[in-house]
Amino acid sequence: MSRSYHTAIIGGGPAGLSAAGRAAAYDREAGVAEPSYVLLEGHSTFAKTIQKYQKGKHVMAEPGFLNLRSPMPFEAGRREDILGAWQERLQGEGIHIRYNAEVADISGTQGDFLIRLAGGEELYAENVVLSIGTQGNPRTLGVDGDAESEFVLYTLDDADAYRGESIVVVGAGDAAIENAIALAKQNRVTIVNRRGEFSRAKDGNLSAILAAINDPDIPLSCLYESHVAGLELPGDEGEGALLLKTPSGETRVACHRIIARLGTIPPRKFVESCGIKISSPHLDAVPEVDRKYQSNVPGLYVIGALGGYPLIKQAMNQGYEVVDFIHGRETRPADYELLASQFAGLPYAMDPEDVLDLYQQRVPMFRRMNPLAFRELIIESRILFSEEGASVPGSTRERETVHVPADYTLYRNGEYSSSFYTLVEGSVQLQLEQDGPWHTLSPGQFFGEMSLISGRPREGSAIVKRDSILIETPRRIMVKVMNSNEEIREGIDRVFIMRALLAAFRTGIPLDELGEIAAGITPKTFEAGDLIYREGEQGEELHLIRRGRVALSKGGDGSVVNQLHSGELVGQMALMGAPTRRETASAAVRTETLPIRQPEFLRLVGQSGDYLPVLQQRLSDNLLQINAMASRSEAARTVNFLMQEGMGEATNALLIDESLCIGCDNCERACAETHGGISRLNRREGASHNQWHVATTCRHCELPHCMKDCPTDAIRRSADGEVFITDACIGCGNCETHCPYDAISLRYPAAKKPGLLSWLLFGAGDGPGDVHSASPADANSRKTAVKCDACRDLPGGHACVRACPTGAAIRLGPDRFTELVSVL
């Protein structure tokens, strides 16, 4: 006879164990003789994913701000200890779990679900909780020969099984990081990250992988922004290779083994066979559930990784809460108080859960998010409310409503900031470029994506009007959302393109038509040095620079005659009457452009009205600049030298005129005096051409390499563009590794300088103007990163420039290079 249960829980992972433990507590409370629930696990043991973790793996209890709510114990610790504690609780509580009970099919409706097991047995349940996870469906490399084998593995059970090998780990998530670190104890390891940073990793893993990459004693290296292009299977000597596309071209990495940890794909076919709706076509899309984890099928619930939340603590909390919901108990989620604090200052009395629902429905972009992922975004963001009488905000405590005055300027043209804003109530006045027209944004729209993507300072300003409510999301959180949700990334890209077109052409074209044009533009990416077009070619399109910088050159020697940055047009002459390219355009740094062909160009400029003469004048100025530089070959070669030295991505670089420099080193001494005895520049190092010397010091890049993956967010950028390091630095060395210009070093703190008499009479310590030589002997704490901060807090400006007696030291950005060399 088939058994019938009040609740059937499918999947014995952390979420399922927690749900079963909570269901058992209800049974004890009711004093029932037979269990009212069953936990069905398709394998021979519980928590099979964690059972497969590498031996001795440290399991973290993230997120740290969330408390655990579960009858099953869990705290950060060794895999074996966690599994042992769960085994003890399973036995002690008598949890009703059935192993080797693989579910083949679920049908029926709430109150009468039929569950068929793979062996043919049938069970009935009033409610069903799916907690099956996604681990059985790993993503593959996507190239020929990527089937699982001894050469290509998609799991790692025991890192100690491999010794003395060259191993490539592909992936940038927690599993890939943990595997790479464990393997590096007795192997040479390369981890391949297709992005420029480890944006999806837990904080602990982020710190660990960065420390390992930057530790010369650990044989672990990282290839960033690299994509799998192919495989070479092992030959007789036992080595194969992974072929990669990297920013510098195709690379071959010889290896004995590849461990691919690219995440997993939800078992969509099974989930949809149960009647559960997954509206998005993307492979990583998750089922739609409400705040009580109920799917579109009443009585059928989805929790844990299958619902988009793979973190153990979150999954366990959901298991506890879903059983409460099923039993009719109104239980507030564990993060409820955090949300209540964020919304407490808003001008209406609503339950935080209702506010979440309202905001998610009001903003089209947020509708594309899983409700649980949206909760996390809100917790990591700030809520801004503009009202009459509010003062300009200073520092505020975390997760509280931030009150700002009406007509408050969120950012100004030229500021360096990268917060992403979403308007949920009220209105915002937005400029897309300096002195450009003002656009009124209405609820549901977002802004700030231009600087988020381009890395350039703000173009135009943004002013929030009275009684408006905004969500301000930090760059790192928005990058994580864009990396994990393809629909959101595509939506933000589309709006970016539309606004970039508006800013570039000030077109009066209707928005629906502008949207059609934007939808037909496919961004192009060029690595540093890549050709965009060549002199003498017939041009069929212009390029609107999305991010990066483009160098224009003429003649056989490749002398640079101009350079352009994001937001500017390149190659427009080809569409304005002169199709033959008059110069060569190449990427000075990694660059993305929006190619625009003639039909779209004509549609845009046809509605530009009074702005067309401005476009023509800019083109004329560009041609004059090109011709002027082309006639001064030495000046062009000097600009070319500066671009080759990476100055194209600088915003505030130090140059030294060697025709004026007398080698006094006052610049270094002034830097040391200003920064506690440690100089942040090296005058002698660096390349020279003609009279110009590029000293080794920070360039304050447009998209700072050093800011990638800082685990404590210690590297910041001021509104004026200075990149600086805060006291939060832990000395991991990741910024030093990322910087291509040797502008960052790890240093011990300088010893306190002696008094003037002690130094004069006894020669004690470093005196005025001495550059400190730090060593472990004078360190009371570990090394931390030091770099030029452009003397951002110094009223008189850059100490190095002010201390130069001959005026040889100057600071400038690439926009002034042609002015600099105009006398050559």
What architecture (CATH level 2) is domain 152-260? 3-Layer(bba) Sandwich (3.50)
* Record: fold of 518-631: Jelly Rolls (2.60.120)
Residue 759: pLDDT over 60: no
**Mean pLDDT calculated for residue range 345-352:** 88
Weakest mean pLDDT among 334-343, 462-471, 701-710: 701-710
pLDDT of amino acid 202:
74
The number of angstroms, rounded, from the C-alpha of 107 to the middle of its chain's C-alpha atoms is 41
User: Where is pLDDT greater, at 122 or 575?
Assistant: 122
Length of the chain: 824
Q: Say if residues 6 and 125 touch (Cβ distance below 8 Å).
A: yes
In SS3 terms, 248-309 reads as CEEEEEEECEEEECCCECCCHHHHHHCCCCCCCCCCCCCCCCCCCCECCCCCEEECHHHHCC
Residue 399: band (very low, low, confident or very high) from pLDDT cuts 50, 70, 90: confident
Give 69's contacts (C-beta < 8 A, 6+ positions apart).
316, 317, 320, 321, 334
Determine the Cα–Cα distance for residues 378 and 824; give it in Å rounded to an integer. 55
**Domain span(s) for CATH 2.60.120.10 in the chain:** 337-484, 518-631
Give 63's contacts (C-beta < 8 A, 6+ positions apart).
311, 313, 314, 376
**Domain span(s) for CATH 3.50.50.60 in the chain:** 4-136+265-334, 152-260
Q: Give long-range contacts, CB 8 A cutoff, 24+ apart: 284-293.
A: 284/484, 284/486, 286/370, 288/370, 289/370, 289/371, 289/372, 290/371, 291/333, 291/353, 291/356, 291/357, 291/371, 292/321, 292/322, 292/325, 293/318, 293/321, 293/322, 293/325
Residue 785: band (very low, low, confident or very high) from pLDDT cuts 50, 70, 90: confident
Give 553's contacts (C-beta < 8 A, 6+ positions apart).
535, 559, 560, 561, 583, 584, 586, 636, 640
Alpha helices in 456-554 (DSSP H): 475-484, 486-505, 511-519
Whether domain 4-136+265-334 has CATH 3.50.50.60: yes
Residue 446: band (very low, low, confident or very high) from pLDDT cuts 50, 70, 90: very high
pLDDT of amino acid 54:
65
pLDDT of amino acid 252:
92
Q: How far apart are the first and last CA of the chain?
A: 96
**Mean pLDDT calculated for residue range 99-112:** 93
**Mean pLDDT calculated for residue range 249-276:** 87
Q: Which has the closest alpha carbon to 546: 523, 575, 518? A: 523
714: helix, coil or strand?
Answer: coil
Report pLDDT digits (tens) over 490-537: 888 888 888 888 888 887 778 788 888 898 999 998 887 889 999 899
Structure token digits, residue 280: 């998005």
- According to DSSP, the β-strands at 591-597 and 688-689 are unpaired
**Mean pLDDT calculated for residue range 458-472:** 93
Residue 307: pLDDT over 60: yes
Determine the Cα–Cα distance for residues 346 and 352; give it in Å rounded to an integer. 11
Q: State how far the alpha carbon of 341 is from the alpha carbons of 399, 405, 468, in Å.
A: 6, 20, 18
pLDDT of amino acid 301:
95
> Which range among 180-184, 259-263, 505-509, 792-796 has the greatest average pLDDT?
180-184
Determine the Cα–Cα distance for residues 259 and 178; give it in Å rounded to an integer. 12
Residue 369: band (very low, low, confident or very high) from pLDDT cuts 50, 70, 90: confident
Peptide bond into 298 cis (omega under 30): no
The number of angstroms, rounded, from the C-alpha of 739 to the middle of its chain's C-alpha atoms is 18
Residue 730: pLDDT over 80: no
Report pLDDT digits (tens) over 125-181: 999 999 987 766 678 888 898 888 889 988 887 888 899 999 999 998 888 998 999
Weakest mean pLDDT among 205-209, 598-602, 813-817: 813-817
The mean pLDDT value of the chain amounts to: 84
* Strands of 37-81, DSSP E: 37-40, 58-59, 77-78
Determine the Cα–Cα distance for residues 169 and 190; give it in Å rounded to an integer. 6
Residue 466: band (very low, low, confident or very high) from pLDDT cuts 50, 70, 90: very high
**Mean pLDDT calculated for residue range 323-329:** 94
Determine the Cα–Cα distance for residues 680 and 697; give it in Å rounded to an integer. 7
Q: Say if residues 270 and 107 touch (Cβ distance below 8 Å).
A: no
Determine the Cα–Cα distance for residues 55 and 59; give it in Å rounded to an integer. 11
Residue 253: pLDDT over 70: yes
Structure token digits, residue 774: 């730090």
pLDDT of amino acid 757:
47
Percent of the chain with pLDDT over 90: 29
Weakest mean pLDDT among 262-271, 465-474, 611-620: 611-620
Whether domain 337-484 has CATH 2.60.120.10: yes
User: Where is pLDDT greater, at 819 or 244?
Assistant: 244
pLDDT of amino acid 781:
55
* Strands of 598-726, DSSP E: 653-657, 688-689, 692-694, 715-717, 723-725
